[in-house]
């Protein structure tokens, strides 16, 4: 049963990562690209969690936490940058 679950999750994560990479390459706006990069980081964190669950270890836990924090801070930073950029032309 476990090899089937691993194969299914590997296919799902691979398709999701491919979709995110395509969105990063094609994304019409900066926000689309940032959102796709955030999704790619979440996919990476999920894959590391699957690895930890299968191999029954916690070696990658700090890496998962770091990836999550970096993704969150990056998304918030870009969102604030875009919000500031959109507000300034209307003030003039």
Residue 88 has pLDDT above 70, yes or no: no
Dist CA 2 CA 41 (whole Å): 25
Does pLDDT of 52 surpass 90? yes
pLDDT value of position 66: 97
Contact assessment for residue 43 and residue 16, using Cβ atoms and an 8 Å cutoff:
yes
Q: Which of 3, 5, 41, 7 is nearest to 24 (CA)?
A: 41
Max alpha carbon distance in the chain (Å)?
63
Euclidean distance between CA atoms 57 and 59, whole angstroms: 6
């Amino acid at each position: 049963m476990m090899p089937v679950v691993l194969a299914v999750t590997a296919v799902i994560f691979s398709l999701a990562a491919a979709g995110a990479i395509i969105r990063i390459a094609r994304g019409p706006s900066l926000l689309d690209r940032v959102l796709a990069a955030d999704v790619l980081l979440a996919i990476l964190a999920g894959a590391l969690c699957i690895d930890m669950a299968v191999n029954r270890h916690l070696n990658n836990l700090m890496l998962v936490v770091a990836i999550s924090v970096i993704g969150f801070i990056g998304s918030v930073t870009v969102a604030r940058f875009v919000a500031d950029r959109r507000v300034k032309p209307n003030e003039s």
